[in-house]
Chain A
Amino acid sequence: MKGALAYEWVRLTTVRSTWVLSAAALGVAVLAALAFTLAPSSASTGVPNALGDQRAYATVLTAGAQLTPLLMGLLGAFAFGHEYRYGTIRPALTALPRRAPVAAAKVLTVALWAAVVAALTVALAAVVALLLGGGRFDPGVSLTAGPTPRMALGVVLYIVLSALVGLAFGWLFRNIPAAVSLLLVIPTIVEPLLKIVLSLDALEPVAGIGRFLPFTAGAQLYAYSTEGDPGVPEAFRSDLSPLSGGLIFGLLTLVLLAVAYLLFQRRDA
Protein backbone atom coordinates (compact mmCIF):
# COMPACT_ATOMS: atom_id res chain seq x y z
CA MET A 1 0.00 0.00 0.00
CA LYS A 2 2.87 2.36 0.82
CA GLY A 3 4.30 1.85 -2.64
CA ALA A 4 0.95 2.42 -4.31
CA LEU A 5 0.46 5.66 -2.37
CA ALA A 6 3.97 6.84 -3.24
CA TYR A 7 3.37 6.03 -6.91
CA GLU A 8 0.04 7.83 -6.87
CA TRP A 9 1.44 10.89 -5.14
CA VAL A 10 4.16 11.30 -7.75
CA ARG A 11 1.65 10.61 -10.52
CA LEU A 12 -0.78 13.25 -9.28
CA THR A 13 1.80 15.93 -8.59
CA THR A 14 3.84 15.54 -11.77
CA VAL A 15 1.09 16.12 -14.26
CA ARG A 16 0.23 19.66 -15.29
CA SER A 17 -3.53 19.15 -15.29
CA THR A 18 -3.53 18.61 -11.51
CA TRP A 19 -2.07 22.06 -10.93
CA VAL A 20 -4.14 23.76 -13.61
CA LEU A 21 -7.41 22.31 -12.29
CA SER A 22 -6.53 23.05 -8.68
CA ALA A 23 -5.43 26.60 -9.43
CA ALA A 24 -8.58 27.11 -11.48
CA ALA A 25 -10.70 25.92 -8.55
CA LEU A 26 -9.03 28.36 -6.19
CA GLY A 27 -9.18 31.16 -8.74
CA VAL A 28 -12.88 30.60 -9.37
CA ALA A 29 -13.61 30.58 -5.63
CA VAL A 30 -11.79 33.88 -5.14
CA LEU A 31 -13.38 35.49 -8.19
CA ALA A 32 -16.85 34.30 -7.19
CA ALA A 33 -16.34 35.55 -3.65
CA LEU A 34 -15.15 38.88 -5.02
CA ALA A 35 -18.14 39.12 -7.32
CA PHE A 36 -20.56 38.48 -4.46
CA THR A 37 -18.75 40.72 -2.03
CA LEU A 38 -18.24 43.61 -4.38
CA ALA A 39 -21.68 43.41 -5.94
CA PRO A 40 -23.45 46.77 -6.12
CA SER A 41 -24.33 47.77 -2.60
CA SER A 42 -27.86 47.99 -1.32
CA ALA A 43 -27.75 51.77 -1.73
CA SER A 44 -27.29 51.60 -5.47
CA THR A 45 -29.62 48.69 -6.15
CA GLY A 46 -32.23 49.81 -3.73
CA VAL A 47 -32.45 46.33 -2.23
CA PRO A 48 -31.92 46.61 1.49
CA ASN A 49 -29.31 44.34 3.03
CA ALA A 50 -28.48 42.78 -0.33
CA LEU A 51 -25.27 41.41 1.09
CA GLY A 52 -25.75 41.80 4.73
CA ASP A 53 -27.28 38.72 6.25
CA GLN A 54 -25.93 35.35 7.28
CA ARG A 55 -27.36 33.66 4.23
CA ALA A 56 -25.45 35.96 1.89
CA TYR A 57 -22.32 35.39 3.91
CA ALA A 58 -22.69 31.62 3.70
CA THR A 59 -23.35 31.88 -0.02
CA VAL A 60 -20.05 33.70 -0.46
CA LEU A 61 -18.21 30.91 1.36
CA THR A 62 -19.64 28.19 -0.85
CA ALA A 63 -19.42 30.17 -4.07
CA GLY A 64 -16.68 27.82 -5.29
CA ALA A 65 -19.24 25.03 -5.35
CA GLN A 66 -20.40 26.27 -8.73
CA LEU A 67 -17.40 25.04 -10.67
CA THR A 68 -15.06 23.21 -8.27
CA PRO A 69 -17.03 19.92 -8.30
CA LEU A 70 -16.57 19.75 -12.05
CA LEU A 71 -12.88 20.69 -11.86
CA MET A 72 -12.16 18.11 -9.18
CA GLY A 73 -14.33 15.64 -11.09
CA LEU A 74 -11.96 16.07 -14.02
CA LEU A 75 -8.99 15.58 -11.72
CA GLY A 76 -10.64 12.36 -10.55
CA ALA A 77 -11.42 11.24 -14.10
CA PHE A 78 -7.74 11.62 -15.00
CA ALA A 79 -6.61 9.31 -12.18
CA PHE A 80 -7.37 6.24 -14.26
CA GLY A 81 -8.22 8.05 -17.49
CA HIS A 82 -4.64 9.17 -18.11
CA GLU A 83 -3.27 5.74 -17.25
CA TYR A 84 -5.43 4.12 -19.90
CA ARG A 85 -5.15 6.98 -22.40
CA TYR A 86 -1.35 6.95 -22.39
CA GLY A 87 -0.76 3.26 -21.70
CA THR A 88 0.90 3.85 -18.33
CA ILE A 89 -1.52 1.42 -16.71
CA ARG A 90 0.72 -1.47 -17.78
CA PRO A 91 3.96 -0.16 -16.30
CA ALA A 92 1.93 0.84 -13.24
CA LEU A 93 0.46 -2.63 -12.77
CA THR A 94 3.81 -4.21 -13.55
CA ALA A 95 5.36 -2.22 -10.72
CA LEU A 96 2.30 -2.80 -8.52
CA PRO A 97 0.82 -6.16 -9.55
CA ARG A 98 -1.75 -6.23 -6.77
CA ARG A 99 -4.66 -4.19 -7.95
CA ALA A 100 -6.48 -3.53 -4.69
CA PRO A 101 -3.76 -1.22 -3.28
CA VAL A 102 -3.53 0.59 -6.63
CA ALA A 103 -7.27 1.26 -6.53
CA ALA A 104 -7.25 2.26 -2.87
CA ALA A 105 -4.30 4.60 -3.37
CA LYS A 106 -6.01 6.38 -6.26
CA VAL A 107 -9.28 6.79 -4.37
CA LEU A 108 -7.52 8.04 -1.25
CA THR A 109 -5.17 10.42 -3.02
CA VAL A 110 -7.87 11.95 -5.21
CA ALA A 111 -10.25 12.28 -2.24
CA LEU A 112 -7.60 13.91 -0.10
CA TRP A 113 -6.45 16.26 -2.83
CA ALA A 114 -10.02 17.32 -3.63
CA ALA A 115 -10.72 17.81 0.09
CA VAL A 116 -7.72 20.10 0.49
CA VAL A 117 -8.58 22.10 -2.63
CA ALA A 118 -12.23 22.36 -1.52
CA ALA A 119 -11.25 23.46 1.98
CA LEU A 120 -8.94 26.06 0.47
CA THR A 121 -11.73 27.43 -1.73
CA VAL A 122 -13.86 27.95 1.38
CA ALA A 123 -10.97 29.46 3.32
CA LEU A 124 -10.03 31.82 0.48
CA ALA A 125 -13.65 32.89 0.07
CA ALA A 126 -13.82 33.57 3.82
CA VAL A 127 -10.70 35.70 3.65
CA VAL A 128 -12.10 37.66 0.70
CA ALA A 129 -15.39 38.18 2.53
CA LEU A 130 -13.63 39.28 5.72
CA LEU A 131 -11.17 41.61 4.05
CA LEU A 132 -13.38 43.22 1.46
CA GLY A 133 -16.92 42.70 2.58
CA GLY A 134 -16.38 43.25 6.28
CA GLY A 135 -18.28 46.48 6.67
CA ARG A 136 -21.17 45.40 4.50
CA PHE A 137 -22.35 42.37 6.41
CA ASP A 138 -24.61 42.47 9.43
CA PRO A 139 -22.71 42.73 12.70
CA GLY A 140 -23.91 39.30 13.84
CA VAL A 141 -22.64 37.49 10.74
CA SER A 142 -19.96 34.88 11.50
CA LEU A 143 -18.32 31.75 10.26
CA THR A 144 -19.94 29.71 12.96
CA ALA A 145 -23.46 31.08 12.91
CA GLY A 146 -26.48 29.15 11.70
CA PRO A 147 -25.88 26.45 9.13
CA THR A 148 -22.62 28.01 7.93
CA PRO A 149 -20.19 25.45 9.40
CA ARG A 150 -22.34 22.61 8.06
CA MET A 151 -22.44 24.27 4.65
CA ALA A 152 -18.68 24.70 4.59
CA LEU A 153 -18.19 21.06 5.52
CA GLY A 154 -20.95 20.04 3.13
CA VAL A 155 -19.40 21.79 0.17
CA VAL A 156 -16.07 20.08 0.86
CA LEU A 157 -17.83 16.73 1.02
CA TYR A 158 -19.78 17.44 -2.16
CA ILE A 159 -16.58 18.31 -4.00
CA VAL A 160 -14.81 15.18 -2.71
CA LEU A 161 -17.72 13.00 -3.82
CA SER A 162 -17.77 14.72 -7.22
CA ALA A 163 -14.07 14.00 -7.61
CA LEU A 164 -14.72 10.34 -6.79
CA VAL A 165 -17.63 10.17 -9.24
CA GLY A 166 -15.21 11.51 -11.86
CA LEU A 167 -12.64 8.91 -10.84
CA ALA A 168 -15.25 6.15 -11.14
CA PHE A 169 -16.31 7.38 -14.61
CA GLY A 170 -12.71 7.42 -15.86
CA TRP A 171 -12.15 4.00 -14.32
CA LEU A 172 -15.33 2.43 -15.71
CA PHE A 173 -15.04 3.79 -19.24
CA ARG A 174 -11.22 3.94 -19.42
CA ASN A 175 -11.88 6.81 -21.74
CA ILE A 176 -11.42 10.46 -20.84
CA PRO A 177 -13.92 12.01 -23.30
CA ALA A 178 -16.67 9.67 -22.08
CA ALA A 179 -15.94 10.43 -18.43
CA VAL A 180 -15.73 14.18 -19.02
CA SER A 181 -18.95 14.22 -21.03
CA LEU A 182 -20.84 12.44 -18.27
CA LEU A 183 -19.40 14.76 -15.64
CA LEU A 184 -20.50 17.77 -17.63
CA VAL A 185 -23.81 16.52 -18.86
CA ILE A 186 -25.38 14.76 -15.88
CA PRO A 187 -25.45 17.63 -13.36
CA THR A 188 -25.95 20.44 -15.85
CA ILE A 189 -28.22 18.94 -18.48
CA VAL A 190 -29.61 15.51 -17.59
CA GLU A 191 -30.85 16.29 -14.11
CA PRO A 192 -32.35 19.72 -14.93
CA LEU A 193 -34.04 18.24 -18.00
CA LEU A 194 -35.43 15.35 -16.00
CA LYS A 195 -36.81 17.83 -13.50
CA ILE A 196 -38.51 19.75 -16.29
CA VAL A 197 -39.99 16.53 -17.63
CA LEU A 198 -41.09 15.54 -14.14
CA SER A 199 -42.86 18.84 -13.69
CA LEU A 200 -45.27 18.01 -16.51
CA ASP A 201 -48.80 17.64 -15.28
CA ALA A 202 -49.03 14.06 -16.52
CA LEU A 203 -46.11 13.04 -14.34
CA GLU A 204 -47.41 14.76 -11.25
CA PRO A 205 -47.65 11.54 -9.19
CA VAL A 206 -43.92 10.85 -9.59
CA ALA A 207 -42.72 14.46 -9.63
CA GLY A 208 -41.32 14.00 -6.13
CA ILE A 209 -38.51 11.75 -7.30
CA GLY A 210 -36.81 14.81 -8.79
CA ARG A 211 -35.30 15.56 -5.40
CA PHE A 212 -33.56 12.17 -5.37
CA LEU A 213 -31.53 12.80 -8.52
CA PRO A 214 -27.97 12.27 -7.25
CA PHE A 215 -26.33 15.61 -7.97
CA THR A 216 -29.47 17.50 -6.94
CA ALA A 217 -29.63 15.51 -3.72
CA GLY A 218 -25.90 15.95 -3.12
CA ALA A 219 -26.17 19.71 -3.45
CA GLN A 220 -28.34 19.65 -0.31
CA LEU A 221 -25.06 19.11 1.57
CA TYR A 222 -24.37 22.82 1.25
CA ALA A 223 -27.90 24.17 0.99
CA TYR A 224 -28.60 27.10 3.31
CA SER A 225 -32.14 26.07 3.98
CA THR A 226 -33.59 22.59 3.81
CA GLU A 227 -37.17 23.67 3.94
CA GLY A 228 -38.64 23.06 0.54
CA ASP A 229 -40.41 26.07 -0.84
CA PRO A 230 -44.06 25.07 -1.37
CA GLY A 231 -44.26 27.63 -4.16
CA VAL A 232 -41.79 25.64 -6.23
CA PRO A 233 -43.09 22.78 -8.41
CA GLU A 234 -42.69 19.40 -6.73
CA ALA A 235 -39.99 18.26 -9.18
CA PHE A 236 -37.80 21.24 -8.39
CA ARG A 237 -38.29 21.14 -4.64
CA SER A 238 -35.11 20.37 -2.72
CA ASP A 239 -36.29 19.56 0.74
CA LEU A 240 -34.03 16.64 1.60
CA SER A 241 -31.95 17.06 4.70
CA PRO A 242 -28.23 17.51 4.07
CA LEU A 243 -27.70 14.07 5.56
CA SER A 244 -30.21 12.33 3.27
CA GLY A 245 -28.99 14.24 0.24
CA GLY A 246 -25.38 13.43 1.10
CA LEU A 247 -26.23 9.78 1.61
CA ILE A 248 -27.91 9.53 -1.78
CA PHE A 249 -24.97 11.15 -3.55
CA GLY A 250 -22.55 9.10 -1.46
CA LEU A 251 -24.39 5.91 -2.31
CA LEU A 252 -24.18 6.66 -6.04
CA THR A 253 -20.44 7.28 -5.65
CA LEU A 254 -19.97 4.07 -3.74
CA VAL A 255 -21.90 1.98 -6.25
CA LEU A 256 -19.95 3.46 -9.18
CA LEU A 257 -16.64 2.84 -7.42
CA ALA A 258 -17.63 -0.71 -6.47
CA VAL A 259 -18.64 -1.63 -10.02
CA ALA A 260 -15.49 -0.04 -11.44
CA TYR A 261 -13.35 -1.90 -8.89
CA LEU A 262 -14.90 -5.28 -9.68
CA LEU A 263 -14.33 -4.71 -13.39
CA PHE A 264 -10.78 -3.52 -12.69
CA GLN A 265 -10.01 -6.80 -10.93
CA ARG A 266 -11.26 -8.81 -13.87
CA ARG A 267 -10.35 -6.80 -16.93
CA ASP A 268 -7.12 -7.02 -18.86
CA ALA A 269 -4.83 -4.08 -18.26
Chain B
Amino acid sequence: MIEATALSKRYGDTLAVDDLTFSIRPGQVTGFLGPNGAGKSTTMRLMLGLDSGGGRTTFDGRAYRDLPHPTRTVGALLEAKAFHPTRSARSHLRMLAAAEGIPARRADEVLALVGLDQVAKKAPKGFSLGMGQRLGLAAALLGDPEVLFLDEPANGLDPQGIIWLRSFLKTYAAGGRTVFVSSHLLAEMAQMADHLVVVGRGRLITDTSTKHFIEHASRTSIVVRSPEAQRLGPLLAQEGADVSVEEDGALALTGIEQARGGDLAFGAGIPLHELTTRVATLEEAFLEATAGAQEYEAGTGVPS
Protein backbone atom coordinates (compact mmCIF):
# COMPACT_ATOMS: atom_id res chain seq x y z
CA MET B 1 0.00 0.00 0.00
CA ILE B 2 1.40 3.35 -1.07
CA GLU B 3 0.08 6.42 0.63
CA ALA B 4 0.72 9.92 -0.64
CA THR B 5 -0.29 12.59 1.82
CA ALA B 6 -0.63 16.32 1.17
CA LEU B 7 1.95 16.39 -1.62
CA SER B 8 2.82 19.83 -2.84
CA LYS B 9 5.41 21.41 -5.05
CA ARG B 10 5.93 25.01 -5.95
CA TYR B 11 7.95 26.41 -8.84
CA GLY B 12 8.22 30.12 -8.26
CA ASP B 13 4.65 31.41 -8.28
CA THR B 14 3.18 28.25 -9.75
CA LEU B 15 1.82 25.56 -7.52
CA ALA B 16 2.55 22.52 -9.67
CA VAL B 17 1.22 20.05 -7.12
CA ASP B 18 -1.33 21.24 -4.63
CA ASP B 19 -2.22 19.26 -1.53
CA LEU B 20 -2.51 15.93 -3.30
CA THR B 21 -3.58 12.98 -1.18
CA PHE B 22 -4.32 9.51 -2.52
CA SER B 23 -3.41 5.90 -2.00
CA ILE B 24 -2.41 3.09 -4.32
CA ARG B 25 -3.44 -0.47 -3.55
CA PRO B 26 -1.70 -3.67 -4.53
CA GLY B 27 -3.37 -6.19 -6.80
CA GLN B 28 -4.62 -3.67 -9.30
CA VAL B 29 -3.42 -1.25 -11.92
CA THR B 30 -3.87 2.32 -10.74
CA GLY B 31 -3.95 4.85 -13.54
CA PHE B 32 -2.67 8.35 -12.96
CA LEU B 33 -4.54 10.61 -15.35
CA GLY B 34 -4.27 14.25 -16.15
CA PRO B 35 -3.61 16.59 -19.07
CA ASN B 36 -0.10 17.67 -19.92
CA GLY B 37 1.21 19.96 -17.24
CA ALA B 38 -1.20 18.62 -14.63
CA GLY B 39 1.72 17.74 -12.36
CA LYS B 40 1.76 13.96 -12.89
CA SER B 41 5.49 13.64 -13.44
CA THR B 42 6.28 16.08 -10.67
CA THR B 43 4.05 14.09 -8.33
CA MET B 44 5.83 10.85 -9.22
CA ARG B 45 9.24 12.43 -8.63
CA LEU B 46 8.04 13.82 -5.30
CA MET B 47 6.84 10.37 -4.27
CA LEU B 48 10.26 8.89 -4.99
CA GLY B 49 12.11 11.67 -3.19
CA LEU B 50 13.78 12.88 -6.37
CA ASP B 51 12.25 16.33 -6.02
CA SER B 52 11.79 18.10 -2.76
CA GLY B 53 8.43 19.51 -1.79
CA GLY B 54 5.70 19.29 0.80
CA GLY B 55 3.92 16.21 2.06
CA ARG B 56 5.08 12.64 2.36
CA THR B 57 4.75 9.33 0.63
CA THR B 58 5.09 5.97 2.32
CA PHE B 59 5.59 2.54 0.81
CA ASP B 60 4.14 0.10 3.33
CA GLY B 61 4.87 2.69 5.99
CA ARG B 62 8.35 3.70 4.90
CA ALA B 63 9.57 6.73 2.98
CA TYR B 64 11.25 5.82 -0.29
CA ARG B 65 14.70 6.83 0.86
CA ASP B 66 14.36 4.59 3.90
CA LEU B 67 13.59 1.47 1.90
CA PRO B 68 16.30 -1.12 2.51
CA HIS B 69 16.10 -2.38 -1.08
CA PRO B 70 14.64 0.37 -3.25
CA THR B 71 15.25 -1.37 -6.59
CA ARG B 72 13.65 -4.59 -5.38
CA THR B 73 10.72 -2.68 -3.92
CA VAL B 74 9.92 -0.08 -6.56
CA GLY B 75 10.80 -0.20 -10.24
CA ALA B 76 10.43 3.21 -11.82
CA LEU B 77 10.32 4.42 -15.39
CA LEU B 78 10.24 8.20 -15.27
CA GLU B 79 11.61 9.21 -18.64
CA ALA B 80 12.07 7.49 -21.94
CA LYS B 81 15.63 7.61 -23.15
CA ALA B 82 17.31 8.23 -19.82
CA PHE B 83 20.53 6.58 -20.86
CA HIS B 84 23.97 7.51 -22.11
CA PRO B 85 23.93 7.27 -25.93
CA THR B 86 27.07 5.17 -26.26
CA ARG B 87 26.73 2.92 -23.22
CA SER B 88 25.19 -0.35 -24.41
CA ALA B 89 21.71 -1.27 -23.26
CA ARG B 90 23.16 -4.18 -21.32
CA SER B 91 25.82 -2.05 -19.60
CA HIS B 92 23.20 0.55 -18.73
CA LEU B 93 21.17 -2.13 -16.95
CA ARG B 94 24.26 -3.68 -15.37
CA MET B 95 25.10 -0.28 -13.93
CA LEU B 96 21.68 0.15 -12.33
CA ALA B 97 21.66 -3.46 -11.15
CA ALA B 98 25.06 -3.01 -9.48
CA ALA B 99 23.56 -0.40 -7.15
CA GLU B 100 21.72 -3.13 -5.33
CA GLY B 101 23.95 -6.10 -6.00
CA ILE B 102 21.56 -7.57 -8.53
CA PRO B 103 23.51 -10.06 -10.69
CA ALA B 104 24.41 -9.00 -14.23
CA ARG B 105 22.49 -11.92 -15.77
CA ARG B 106 19.30 -10.25 -14.62
CA ALA B 107 20.08 -7.52 -17.18
CA ASP B 108 19.88 -10.14 -19.94
CA GLU B 109 16.65 -11.54 -18.51
CA VAL B 110 14.85 -8.21 -18.50
CA LEU B 111 16.18 -7.33 -21.95
CA ALA B 112 14.66 -10.54 -23.26
CA LEU B 113 11.46 -9.81 -21.38
CA VAL B 114 10.99 -6.45 -23.10
CA GLY B 115 12.17 -7.77 -26.47
CA LEU B 116 15.49 -5.93 -26.66
CA ASP B 117 17.81 -8.94 -26.47
CA GLN B 118 18.82 -8.47 -30.11
CA VAL B 119 20.22 -5.01 -29.40
CA ALA B 120 21.59 -5.67 -25.91
CA LYS B 121 25.14 -4.83 -26.90
CA LYS B 122 24.28 -1.92 -29.16
CA ALA B 123 24.76 1.70 -28.22
CA PRO B 124 21.24 2.99 -27.66
CA LYS B 125 21.79 6.31 -29.40
CA GLY B 126 19.90 5.00 -32.43
CA PHE B 127 16.98 3.67 -30.39
CA SER B 128 13.51 4.83 -31.32
CA LEU B 129 11.29 6.31 -28.63
CA GLY B 130 9.55 2.95 -28.32
CA MET B 131 12.84 1.11 -27.86
CA GLY B 132 13.88 3.72 -25.31
CA GLN B 133 10.66 3.04 -23.42
CA ARG B 134 11.34 -0.68 -23.49
CA LEU B 135 14.82 -0.12 -22.11
CA GLY B 136 13.36 2.08 -19.39
CA LEU B 137 10.84 -0.61 -18.59
CA ALA B 138 13.62 -3.20 -18.47
CA ALA B 139 15.42 -1.00 -15.94
CA ALA B 140 12.26 -0.76 -13.84
CA LEU B 141 11.95 -4.56 -13.85
CA LEU B 142 15.55 -5.23 -12.80
CA GLY B 143 14.76 -5.81 -9.15
CA ASP B 144 11.59 -7.82 -9.86
CA PRO B 145 9.92 -5.15 -7.74
CA GLU B 146 6.74 -5.21 -5.71
CA VAL B 147 5.71 -1.89 -7.20
CA LEU B 148 5.93 -0.56 -10.74
CA PHE B 149 5.96 3.20 -11.14
CA LEU B 150 5.65 4.14 -14.80
CA ASP B 151 5.36 7.63 -16.22
CA GLU B 152 3.74 7.57 -19.67
CA PRO B 153 5.16 4.14 -20.58
CA ALA B 154 2.97 3.80 -23.67
CA ASN B 155 4.47 6.91 -25.33
CA GLY B 156 6.13 5.93 -28.57
CA LEU B 157 5.11 2.29 -28.40
CA ASP B 158 3.61 0.76 -31.52
CA PRO B 159 0.13 -0.81 -31.26
CA GLN B 160 1.59 -4.28 -30.61
CA GLY B 161 3.80 -2.76 -27.96
CA ILE B 162 0.84 -1.11 -26.29
CA ILE B 163 -1.15 -4.33 -26.27
CA TRP B 164 1.83 -6.18 -24.86
CA LEU B 165 2.34 -3.52 -22.18
CA ARG B 166 -1.32 -3.61 -21.23
CA SER B 167 -1.43 -7.35 -20.73
CA PHE B 168 1.94 -7.33 -19.02
CA LEU B 169 0.86 -4.75 -16.46
CA LYS B 170 -2.49 -6.41 -15.85
CA THR B 171 -0.76 -9.73 -15.24
CA TYR B 172 1.78 -8.04 -13.00
CA ALA B 173 -0.93 -6.51 -10.85
CA ALA B 174 -3.01 -9.67 -10.86
CA GLY B 175 -0.16 -11.39 -9.06
CA GLY B 176 -0.82 -9.15 -6.07
CA ARG B 177 1.70 -6.48 -6.96
CA THR B 178 1.18 -2.76 -7.33
CA VAL B 179 1.18 -0.94 -10.65
CA PHE B 180 0.98 2.84 -10.80
CA VAL B 181 0.99 4.15 -14.33
CA SER B 182 0.48 7.65 -15.64
CA SER B 183 -0.92 8.56 -18.99
CA HIS B 184 -2.84 11.22 -20.80
CA LEU B 185 -4.23 8.58 -23.16
CA LEU B 186 -7.65 7.92 -21.70
CA ALA B 187 -8.79 5.18 -24.00
CA GLU B 188 -5.64 3.25 -23.24
CA MET B 189 -6.05 3.83 -19.55
CA ALA B 190 -9.68 2.76 -19.61
CA GLN B 191 -8.60 -0.65 -20.85
CA MET B 192 -5.71 -1.07 -18.46
CA ALA B 193 -6.45 0.59 -15.14
CA ASP B 194 -8.71 -0.78 -12.42
CA HIS B 195 -8.52 2.40 -10.44
CA LEU B 196 -7.96 6.02 -11.42
CA VAL B 197 -6.35 8.96 -9.74
CA VAL B 198 -7.22 11.99 -11.86
CA VAL B 199 -5.43 15.30 -11.44
CA GLY B 200 -5.68 18.69 -13.08
CA ARG B 201 -3.51 21.69 -12.35
CA GLY B 202 -1.86 19.84 -9.53
CA ARG B 203 -5.08 19.14 -7.68
CA LEU B 204 -6.91 15.90 -7.16
CA ILE B 205 -10.04 15.71 -9.28
CA THR B 206 -11.12 12.23 -8.50
CA ASP B 207 -9.84 9.04 -6.95
CA THR B 208 -12.21 6.30 -7.97
CA SER B 209 -12.55 2.96 -9.73
CA THR B 210 -12.26 3.12 -13.50
CA LYS B 211 -15.63 1.41 -13.79
CA HIS B 212 -17.28 4.11 -11.75
CA PHE B 213 -15.46 6.88 -13.56
CA ILE B 214 -16.47 5.63 -16.99
CA GLU B 215 -20.08 4.88 -16.05
CA HIS B 216 -20.40 8.17 -14.37
CA ALA B 217 -18.71 10.12 -17.08
CA SER B 218 -19.61 8.49 -20.36
CA ARG B 219 -23.25 7.77 -19.75
CA THR B 220 -25.24 9.24 -22.56
CA SER B 221 -28.00 11.53 -21.36
CA ILE B 222 -30.94 13.32 -22.95
CA VAL B 223 -31.29 16.98 -22.32
CA VAL B 224 -34.79 18.40 -22.19
CA ARG B 225 -35.70 22.03 -21.82
CA SER B 226 -39.24 23.01 -21.19
CA PRO B 227 -41.03 25.93 -19.56
CA GLU B 228 -43.03 23.29 -17.71
CA ALA B 229 -40.10 21.22 -16.55
CA GLN B 230 -41.63 20.82 -13.10
CA ARG B 231 -44.57 18.97 -14.57
CA LEU B 232 -42.52 17.04 -17.07
CA GLY B 233 -39.97 15.72 -14.57
CA PRO B 234 -42.32 13.51 -12.50
CA LEU B 235 -44.05 12.29 -15.66
CA LEU B 236 -40.76 11.07 -17.10
CA ALA B 237 -39.75 9.56 -13.77
CA GLN B 238 -42.98 7.55 -13.78
CA GLU B 239 -41.93 6.06 -17.09
CA GLY B 240 -38.69 4.85 -15.53
CA ALA B 241 -36.37 7.72 -16.46
CA ASP B 242 -33.68 8.83 -14.11
CA VAL B 243 -34.22 12.57 -13.98
CA SER B 244 -31.87 15.16 -12.69
CA VAL B 245 -32.27 18.91 -12.84
CA GLU B 246 -29.28 20.80 -14.11
CA GLU B 247 -28.19 24.17 -12.83
CA ASP B 248 -29.78 26.06 -15.68
CA GLY B 249 -33.11 24.28 -15.18
CA ALA B 250 -32.74 21.76 -18.00
CA LEU B 251 -33.58 18.13 -17.26
CA ALA B 252 -30.98 15.47 -17.84
CA LEU B 253 -32.52 12.07 -18.47
CA THR B 254 -31.09 8.63 -18.52
CA GLY B 255 -32.84 5.30 -18.87
CA ILE B 256 -35.30 6.51 -21.46
CA GLU B 257 -35.28 6.80 -25.25
CA GLN B 258 -35.18 10.28 -26.73
CA ALA B 259 -38.30 9.62 -28.87
CA ARG B 260 -40.22 8.19 -25.94
CA GLY B 261 -39.48 11.33 -23.92
CA GLY B 262 -40.75 13.50 -26.77
CA ASP B 263 -43.92 11.42 -27.17
CA LEU B 264 -44.67 11.65 -23.46
CA ALA B 265 -44.34 15.42 -23.45
CA PHE B 266 -46.50 15.71 -26.54
CA GLY B 267 -49.18 13.48 -25.04
CA ALA B 268 -49.31 15.62 -21.90
CA GLY B 269 -49.35 18.83 -23.91
CA ILE B 270 -46.05 20.04 -22.50
CA PRO B 271 -44.08 22.30 -24.83
CA LEU B 272 -40.44 21.43 -25.40
CA HIS B 273 -37.71 23.94 -26.28
CA GLU B 274 -34.99 21.38 -26.56
CA LEU B 275 -34.75 17.63 -26.80
CA THR B 276 -31.23 16.47 -27.52
CA THR B 277 -28.98 13.53 -26.84
CA ARG B 278 -25.72 14.44 -25.16
CA VAL B 279 -22.94 11.93 -25.55
CA ALA B 280 -20.25 12.48 -22.97
CA THR B 281 -17.15 10.55 -23.78
CA LEU B 282 -14.49 9.73 -21.28
CA GLU B 283 -12.34 12.36 -22.93
CA GLU B 284 -15.02 15.02 -22.60
CA ALA B 285 -15.72 14.19 -19.03
CA PHE B 286 -12.04 14.29 -18.33
CA LEU B 287 -11.53 17.59 -20.10
CA GLU B 288 -14.52 19.05 -18.34
CA ALA B 289 -13.26 17.91 -15.01
CA THR B 290 -9.77 19.21 -15.58
CA ALA B 291 -10.94 22.48 -17.08
CA GLY B 292 -13.02 22.98 -13.96
CA ALA B 293 -9.97 22.47 -11.86
CA GLN B 294 -8.08 24.91 -13.97
CA GLU B 295 -10.74 27.56 -13.47
CA TYR B 296 -10.81 26.89 -9.80
CA GLU B 297 -7.05 27.18 -9.70
CA ALA B 298 -6.94 30.54 -11.39
CA GLY B 299 -9.58 31.79 -9.00
CA THR B 300 -11.04 34.21 -11.51
CA GLY B 301 -13.98 32.43 -13.08
CA VAL B 302 -17.01 30.85 -11.52
CA PRO B 303 -16.70 27.08 -11.23
CA SER B 304 -19.05 25.52 -13.74
Contact = CB atoms under 8 A, between A and B. Distances in A.
Interface of A: 2-4, 6-7, 9-11, 14-16, 82, 86-88, 90-98, 266, 268-269
B236 to A, nearest CB: 55
A93 B50 contact: yes
24 contacts: A3-B98, A4-B99, A6-B98, A7-B96, A7-B99, A10-B94, A14-B88, A14-B92, A15-B84, A82-B84, A86-B82, A86-B83, A86-B84, A87-B79, A88-B84, A94-B48, A94-B71, A94-B74, A94-B76, A95-B71, A95-B96, A96-B70, A98-B65, A268-B50
Given A6-B99, A87-B79, A97 B49 contact: yes
Chain B interface mostly: loop
Contacts of A14: 87-88, 91-92, 94-95
B96 A269 contact: no
A57 to B, nearest CB: 40
Contacts of B78: 90-91, 94
Given A82-B84, A86-B82, A87-B79, A95 B67 contact: no
- Of B64, B86, B99, chain A has the most CB atoms within 10 Å of the CB of B99
Interface string B56-94: 000000001101001100101011011111111001101
A88 to B, nearest CB: 6
A182 B151 CA distance: 36
B66 to A, nearest CB: 8
- Of B52, B70, B84, B91, chain A has the most CB atoms within 10 Å of the CB of B84
B101 interface: yes
Contacts of B86: 15-16
Contact of B100 (A15, A88, A93, A95): A95
B65 A97 contact: yes
A95 B84 contact: no
A92 to B, nearest CB: 8
Contacts of A9: 98
Nearest to B101: A3
B159 to A, nearest CB: 27
B284 interface: no
A9 to B, nearest CB: 7
A15 B99 CA distance: 17
Nearest to B94: A10
Interface residues of B, number: 33
Contacts of B223: none
Nearest to B80: A87
Q: Please list the 9 inter-chain residue pairs (A to B) with the smallest Cβ-Cβ separation, ordered nearest first.
A: A87-B82, A6-B98, A95-B99, A14-B91, A97-B65, A268-B51, A10-B95, A269-B50, A7-B99
A92 B67 CA distance: 15
A79 B64 CA distance: 24
- Of B51, B76, B82, B85, chain A has the most CB atoms within 10 Å of the CB of B82
A268 B86 CA distance: 26
Nearest to B66: A97
Given A82-B84, A88-B82, A97 B67 contact: yes
A94 B70 contact: yes
Given A93-B49, A95-B96, 5 more contacts: A14-B91, A87-B79, A88-B92, A90-B82, A268-B51
Contacts of B65: 97-98
A15 B139 CA distance: 18
Given A14-B87, A15-B87, A90 B79 contact: yes
A205 B76 CA distance: 60
Given A10-B98, A14-B91, A14-B95, A94 B84 contact: no
B99 A97 contact: no
B9 to A, nearest CB: 9
